[in-house]
Every structure is written in structure tokens, then in C-alpha cells.
Chain A
Amino acid sequence: MAVRNIAITDTLETFRTEFNDLALNDFGDKANLSASITATNLVDAMNETISIATSTAGWKIEDSTSTQQIIGGGDVLRVFGTSNEIEATVSATDLLTIGLPNAVVVTASVTAPTIKAGTGSTTLSLSTGSITDSTGSISFGDENLTTTGSLTANTITGSGATHTLGTVEISGNTIRSTDSTELNINDGVQVQGTVKTNTINARSGNTVDFGNTNISTNGFIYLSGTFDSAGIGFEGSTVNAFQIFLNAADATADRNVTLPNETGTIITTGTIDGITESMIAADSIGQNELKSLTTLQILNSSGTTLKTLYGAGA
């Protein structure tokens, strides 16, 4: 409360209102003085009070800031605890017991306490940035732990069924994102066991690069795209803008194309002068393979056909 001050230039009205406030709020109503006080003004009343207090078996109470309070004879020292912080109990004949409740609330901080629970010798220690327990483990029971900071642990063992780290949920053996249908692992992934999935897509672009790793399967490699978009591309010996693509025609039934057990070059309809004699099995070309079929019969002297030769027509 500021000291009331009337300047020379203040008006009477200011003076009046300040005075009234001074009288009403600062000094108070004399009528309210204790009946045990005989003085009729505040100064006298105060002096009378001091006199009374020091003249009897009074004493002072002082806190850690050296603030003192006179406790006069007849005065009542009231000591109240604060819920969940400290509790005070007055008992006969003159016992004041101050203790902590079973549930303590520390509003500001508890500095490096060591908490001993129960009758055992184990202790829970709180220090700056650290909570430790002499048993080597701290159980939070079924409580939820919430932090806006980081959680650093040498080992995190979840005993519950489902665990969520941010938007990543680990439920049993299942990891998923809770906000999308995709987990983004921003690093390489190495899996000791088998990776099971029905879909593999490129993370960016349209290529999944297996590097120089061999791809092995006991089943089929099924290329589900249509003729123009599905196939196997080969860069060849030179990485450039050109590739050799292995495509399939539009299938109208299941077909089997068997690669022969031999080393060689596959012949296509575009091959020119690529078929050599050794590639053609003996007795394997029939008349239907010849263009503009011409036959030449070899007859005996009786006109009986002995052999028919088939050739491409002229």
C-alpha cells in the first residue's frame, strides 16, 4: 500500500477522498478495537498492545527469514498444515506434531530427496535429473508416464500389450503407425528373419534397387503390369539411356516358356542370320516350316514314291 500524499496542487476533493480512504481503510474504524483495549486511537492502541504483550509471558516466533512474531500471553498460535503437503496435530498436553501426510504434494520442488519406502532398506533417490532406486528398478505400477521431453533408456521393456511411441504403435509383435497406413523408417532396415509382405513399392521414383544382391525365390516372379509396362529390363554392359526389356505378349491362357539347359543366345523374330546348324535338331524341320513349299518326289523305276523332299519354293 502506497503512502498517501496530498500535493500542493491537489484539490480539496482529492484531499477529501484520500482522507476518507485513509480513515476507512488504512486506519480503520475505532469501533472495531478490542474491547480489552482502552485506547481510542490507533497509536495508543498499538502501544497498549505492545505493552500488554511484553509485560506478560509472551514469546516470539521467527521464521527462516528472521521475521519475528510476538506471541503474547493468551495468544493462540495456530499451526495449520496444507493438504497433501504437511500436517500438524495438537495433542495433550502441549504437543504439536508436524508431519507429512501419506500423500504429499510439493508444489515447487523436492531437492535430491532420498525416499525410503516401507521398512526395508531399499531407497528411492531423487537427484537432479535422476530418479534411482537401490533395487535397480522403479515401478510406476499401472500409472501412465507422460513427458514432453525425451525418454532415454538403456533398455525399454514393455510388459503391456500395446505401446505407442509418438504415432508408432507396438502391439505385441505388430508395429504400425497410428496416424496413417505407413511406417516410415528413415534408415536402412536389416531383418534377420523373413520379410513377409504382399507389396513392395519404391520409396521414391519407380525403382526398387536391390543393388548387387541376388533375388531368389522358389516361386514365380509375377509381373502384374500389362505388356507395355511390365517386364524385365537389362542395362547390358553399358549403363546408358538404352535397355533391353523382356516383355510378355498378352496371355489368353497360362503358358510355359522353358529356358533350355544350355548356354547360348536367345533367338527372336528379329534375329538375322542367327540360327546355325547346330541349333537345329536332326529331323526337326518339317514341310510346314518351309516357305512356298515345294516337294520333290523320288520315285523308283516303277513310279513308286521312295522319298519326298520338301524345300522352300522358288
Chain B
Amino acid sequence: MAVRQPLYYNSGNLQEMTTAMVGEVVDQIIYQYSLNPSVSLSVVGTSGNLAAMSDTRLQAGATSTSVSSLPSEATTAEPSVVTVSYDKITETRTTLTPTTDTGKTWPVYYTSSGAIQSMNLQDVKDTFLHPAIDLLTSGSTGTQQAGTYQITTSSSGAVSATAVFANTQADTSLYTAGGIGETLDQPTTLTSYYLHQIAGSDTSYTLPMILDASNNIQVYPEATFESLIQEWIRHTAVSSTDGYSVNYNTNGSGNNRGSGMADTRLNGTGNYQTRFVNTDDYRAQEFPNGTATAINTYYLKINKQ
């Protein structure tokens, strides 16, 4: 672990960056990642590669009929559970080959022996990339997680207008005795969940110094630096072999991202209702009833490994 303090140009002097300044560079790396994430999520119709989430609800039991009398409750079918699977999130990993270290690729720092040395890749990882990944994969959903995803109940600004999960429930108001013979599944959506990508913020930061081709010290050209760190944060997120690759899952390991997607279901044992249609048609049916009870809560999780 070798966290460096890169040098920067301060009114004609070379000065070590403070921890806060290094943090600003990390924020810029996150912003660069947000501009072109290498691990992206999209919403598909079905068969997304993230684990499916189940939305369950009750539906009315089948209608019982008789030509002579009303069917008893005992003989009337109980409400049953309808399960809808949501596998609409697909993770796409875009690999790339980043710029390799020429020996003078990375910013310079002041060594303990008083020399100015270019950071090596491990230094860069320890100082910039891994802290950036740590922030990107945290449970927060601010600009320091830009480019990653979260779940909210708002469709505005979502990756897709298609909800990645919906918590549905039997709409008990739709079931009436006079309508026995009701359609069994008459759900209502309580909450829809949408996938959002967190927007980045191009915060100010101080460019570090670098060695040029003539081994002179110069301020890192901004475009070059930002291109480089974007390459490497993208590469790290998708291809890290030392525990900093980013992936998403649902209800697996990692930090929750955004709202938990609750699957709630009415917990009643059935609302027994009868209907006399005519002397040859007696009906009974059990409608969903009860109070909404959480069956499961799914989370979009971001993980590093």
C-alpha cells in the first residue's frame, strides 16, 4: 500500500498535494468514469443477466358454482399467489486495454529520499483508482458514485421508462360479490422501481505534475490526464484482478443501491363471497384480502471483487 502525494504547481513551486487535493483528483476520476462507465446496466424486456426478482400477489380463488345452493367456504377455492419474475436488468462489461506505464506515464511525487519520482501503477491504484472504486461502490448515491446505478421509484431520468421491478397487489376494490366469477388476478401496482444512473459532477481539481519526454516536469495536460484516468478507472472497474472490479447483483454481496424493492402481499386467508344468480346458478368465490405484508425486499447491489 503506497499512497502518494502527487506534486502540483503552486505559484512557481512544486508542492505535495494535500489529502483533500488527492480526494479532488479521485472525484475527477469518478466523474471521468461517469462519462463512460465500463460496467453498465440496461433495462431489457426479459432475461436480464442480473438475478430475477419476484413480485408476488394474491389473486382470487376460482369461482365455485352450484345449481342448487351456494357453495360453502370450505369448498370454495382459496386465493392463490401470483408470482411475476422481474429479470429486466442486464449488466454489460466493456473491457479495454489501457495505456501502459512507460515509466513516466503517471504523476510524480516526492520520495522520502528527496527525489521526484513518477508513480507506478500500484501507486496509482493505491492513491487514485482503488479509492475511486471504493467510493463508486459505496452505498451512497451522490456524485462520488457517478456512473453507477441506483434504484428509485421515480421514472424521471431513469435509464428506461420500464420499471425493473413493480410491487403489485390484488386490488381488493375490484372484487365484488356481484361480480363473482371475477377475474382471478386483478392486481394493482403499488410501487414501480426504476433503474437510474447517477450523474456525475465535473468538480474542480488540481492537475498533478508529470515528466515529459525530455524528463522535464510539467503540469499534466488536462485532456491527456483525464483521458488516461478514464481509461484506467474503466479498466479497473471491469478487469481488476486485485479486488476492485465492479459488478452489480440483486440481493447478493455488496452495498445497496437506492431503494429496496419490496414485494408485499396481502396476508388474508380469503374474502368468501357468494352470489345468487338464479335458481340454477349459485356462486361463491374468495377474494384476496388482508393487509399488505412484506414478502421480500430486493436491492440492487454494487459490489467490488
Chain A residues close to B by CB (< 8 Å): 296-307
B105 with A299: CB separation less than 8 A: no
Q: Which of A301, A302, A303, A306 contacts B215 (CB 8 A)?
A: A306
Q: Which of B115-123, B171-179, B235-243 contacts A (4 or more CB under 8 A)?
A: B115-123
Does B217 have its Cβ within 8 Å of any Cβ on chain A?
Answer: yes
CA distance A303 to B106 in the complex (A): 13
Selected contact of B104 from candidates A296, A305, A306, CB within 8 Å: A306
Main secondary structure of the interface of B (DSSP, over half): loop
Contact B217 A301 (CB under 8 A): no
Min CB gap A262→B, angstroms: 31
Choice from B111, B114, B211 contacting A306 with Cβ under 8 Å: B211
Q: Known contacts A306-B211, A306-B215: does B118 contact A300 (CB below 8 Å)?
A: yes
Q: Which residues of B contact A299 (CB under 8 A)?
A: 111, 115-118
Contact of B115 among A296, A301, A302 (CB under 8 A): A296
The interface on chain B, measured as residues whose beta carbon lies within 8 A of the other chain's beta carbons, has a size of 20
Chain B interfacial positions (CB closer than 8 Å to A): 101-106, 108, 111, 114-121, 123, 211, 215, 217
Known: A306-B211, A307-B215. A301 touches B103 (CB 8 A): yes
B211 engages A296 (CB within 8 Å)? no
Q: Do residues B101 and A298 form an inter-chain contact, with CB atoms below 8 A?
A: no
Chain A residues closer than 8 Å to B121, beta-carbon distance: 301
From residue A304, how far is it (CB to closest CB) to chain B in Å?
7
B-chain residues with CB within 8 Å of residue A297 when the two chains form the complex: 114-117
| Chain B residues positioned under 8 Å from A303 (CB to CB) | 117
Q: Lowest 7 CB-CB distances: which A-B pairs, in order?
A: A300-B103, A299-B117, A301-B120, A297-B115, A301-B118, A306-B215, A307-B215
Are B116 and A296 within 8 A (Cβ)?
Answer: yes
CB distance A302 to B111 under 8 Å? no
- Can you name the residue of chain B whose Cβ is closest to the Cβ of A298? B116
Other A-B contacts than A297-B115, A300-B102, A306-B215, 4 sampled, CB-CB below 8 A, are: A296-B115, A300-B118, A300-B211, A301-B117
A298 touches which of B105, B115, B119 (Cβ 8 Å): B115
Show 25 A/B contacts (Cβ-Cβ < 8 Å), sorted by A.
Answer: A296-B114, A297-B116, A298-B115, A298-B211, A298-B215, A298-B217, A299-B111, A299-B118, A300-B104, A300-B117, A300-B211, A301-B103, A301-B105, A301-B106, A301-B118, A301-B119, A301-B120, A301-B123, A302-B103, A302-B120, A303-B117, A304-B103, A305-B115, A306-B215, A307-B215
CA gap between A31 and B102 in the complex, in Å = 166
User: Chain B nearest CB: distance from A303 CB in Å?
Assistant: 7
Chain B residue numbers with a CB within 8 Å of A300 are: 102-104, 117-118, 211
User: Which A residues touch B101, using CB under 8 A?
Assistant: 301
Question: Are A298 and B120 closer than 8 Å at their CB atoms?
Answer: no
Q: Closest chain A residue to B117 by CB distance?
A: A299
Closest residue of B by beta carbon distance from A299: B117
Q: How far is B118's CA from A304's CA once the two chains are assembled, in angstroms?
A: 10
Task: Report how far A29 CA is from B102 CA in the complex, Å.
Answer: 163
Q: Which of A297, A300, A302, A306 has the most CB of B within 10 A?
A: A300
In the complex, residue of chain A having the shortest beta-carbon distance to the beta carbon of B104: A300
Q: A304-B103, A306-B211, A306-B215 are in contact. Are A298 and B108 (CB under 8 A)?
A: yes
Roughly how many angstroms separate A306 CA and B123 CA in the complex, as a whole number?
A: 19
The minimal Cβ–Cβ distance linking B233 to chain A, given in whole angstroms, is 18
* Cα-based distance from A298 to B210 in the complex (angstroms): 11
Query: Given A306-B211, A307-B215, A298–B117 Cβ distance below 8 Å?
Result: yes
CB atoms of B114 and A301 under 8 A apart: no
Q: Nearest-CB distance from B91 to chain A (Å)?
A: 33
In the assembled complex, the Cα of A305 lies from the Cα of B115 at a distance in Å of 9
Among A296, A297, A299, A302, the most chain B Cβ lie within 10 Å of the Cβ of A299
Which residue in chain B gives the minimum CB-CB distance to A306? Answer: B215
With both beta carbons as reference points, the residue of chain A lying nearest to B101 in the complex is identified as: A301
* Chain A residue with the shortest CB-CB distance to B111: A299
Give the docked Cα–Cα distance between A298 and B101 (Å): 16
Interchain CA distance A305-B114 in the complex, whole Å: 13
Residue of B whose beta carbon sits closest to that of A297: B115
Q: Which residues of A contact B120 (CB under 8 A)?
A: 301-302
What separation, in Å, do the CA atoms of A304 and B106 have in the docked complex?
14
Cβ of B211: which chain A residues have Cβ within 8 Å of it? 298, 300, 306
- Chain B residues with CB under 8 A of A305: 115
